[in-house]
Amino acid sequence: MNRTGIVRDERYIDHITDDYHPENPNRLRSIYGMLQGGDMEGFYTEIPPRLATREELEMVHLPSYIDLIASTAGQPARRLDPDTVTSPKSYEAACLAVGGVLEAIEAVLQGKLDNAFALVRPPGHHAERNRAMGFCIFNNIAVGAKYAIQTHGLERVLIIDWDVHHGNGTQNTFYEAPEVLYFSTHRYGFFYPGTGAPAEAGTGKGEGFTVNVPMSLGCGDAEYGNIFLHVLKPIALSYKPQLILVSAGFDTYSRDPLGGMSMTEKGYARLINITMDIAQTTCGGKIIIALEGGYDLDGLATSVKAVLRELRGDSVIDIAECQRNERNGYGKIEGELGKLKGYHKRHWEKL
């Protein structure tokens, strides 16, 4: 079994959103409740989070923006954009979310753990350098990548983002940076946030190190599995990351109220199974996952459970069955795969 860590803390629940807001404290309550089950409790190493420092937040965010979020501490609810709100303890939770990801990265890079899942909120991948967006306050995964590069001297970090929404904030942070390869699968076209076209591939020294894969409405396990096998895997093996970070959104789940996709628990386990195979080949298995979206509470808990079991080495999937389903579903997306490969082959010859 792998040594798998988890970040969890009741203070993340103190980030209170509007009544009926999709990104609400019940998301973590459902996950934390699942972790107390007999088949989960005691199998994972707890990673205590800490508050991210001002200097760490400034790796990604402007000082004036950090000041704005800090000014909400102890104050009544404040709306940062149409989707993103704060409550008296949101600033603390947001700093803990970043700090939780950083502590998970530290534990894995120091060799104390093989991999880890930071079960934190608020989520982060929409947060820009100077503004909140789409439920996100600070960009947890982007600060994590910067931290790994600046503190540990890494030169190649792979960020995989499988949330149903494109991680505009993460992309913009590293758009000119070859030290981070950003790979995103997401719905695109008249769908929030409106970014993530294949043509968005990076600029300057970062050209080719942003890989966007728009997904059609209704895509599920076979489609995502094929994308990971035939697009992500050859690119990642060429890039040879020293660390893999995952922005894991579970709003592609079949019953999610926002996503419109058809992923299942086994589908998510298969995605992390492919990612672990890449990690074993390139970086000694070093993977840190940060929670992003996912708004069907039961599906969120069961999907996170499937991923955690895969990380631990206690798989819930039959690999042969997954491969058979992927072969059977290949024809459905063969045309799109061909277009994607053709576009990105100029940067990644192994496609």
DSSP 79-114: EEETTEEE-TTHHHHHHHHHHHHHHHHHHHHTTS-S
Q: Name the CA radius of gyration of the chain, rounded.
A: 18
Nearest to 34 by CA among 247, 252, 265: 265
Structure confidence by residue, pLDDT tens digits, 45-59: 999 999 999 999 999
Structure tokens at 158: 């792979």
Q: What is the pLDDT, as a whole number, of residue 19? A: 80
Mean pLDDT of 262-277: 98
When pLDDT is cut at 50, 70 and 90, the band that residue 18 belongs to is confident
Q: What's the whole-number average pLDDT of the chain?
A: 97
Say if residue 90's pLDDT is above 90.
Answer: yes
The whole domain housing 263 covers 4-344
The residues facing 185 across adjacent strands are: 213
Say if residue 329's pLDDT is above 90.
Answer: yes
Q: What is the pLDDT, as a whole number, of residue 305? A: 98
Q: What's the domain count of the chain?
A: 1
Amino acid at 57: L
349 occurs within a structural domain: no
Say if residue 338's pLDDT is above 90.
Answer: yes
CB atoms < 10 A from the CB of 46, how many?
10
Structure tokens at 256: 């999610």
E strands, 119-237, are 157-161, 180-187, 210-215
Mean pLDDT of 322-342: 95
340 occurs within a structural domain: yes
351 occurs within a structural domain: no
Q: What is the pLDDT, as a whole number, of residue 218? A: 96
Q: Which of 15, 61, 126, 186 is catalytic?
A: 126
Mean pLDDT of 140-168: 98
Mean pLDDT of 307-324: 97
Structure confidence by residue, pLDDT tens digits, 181-228: 999 999 998 999 999 999 999 999 999 999 999 999 999 999 999 999
Cβ atoms of residues 318 and 206 within 8 Å: no
Structure confidence by residue, pLDDT tens digits, 107-131: 999 999 999 999 999 999 999 999 9
281 occurs within a structural domain: yes
CA distance 260 to 265: 16
Lowest mean pLDDT among 15-19, 108-112, 170-174: 15-19
160 occurs within a structural domain: yes
Q: What is the pLDDT, as a whole number, of residue 288? A: 98
Q: What is the pLDDT, as a whole number, of residue 189? A: 86
17 occurs within a structural domain: yes
Structure tokens at 36: 């107390």
CATH number at residue 91: 3.40.800.20
Cβ atoms of residues 289 and 116 within 8 Å: yes
Mean pLDDT of 76-81: 95
104 occurs within a structural domain: yes
Mean pLDDT of 157-170: 98
Active site residue 126: yes
* Whether the model pTM is above 0.85: yes
Q: What is the pLDDT, as a whole number, of residue 258? A: 97
Nearest to 245 by CA among 336, 184, 157: 157
114 occurs within a structural domain: yes
Max CA separation in the chain (angstroms): 55
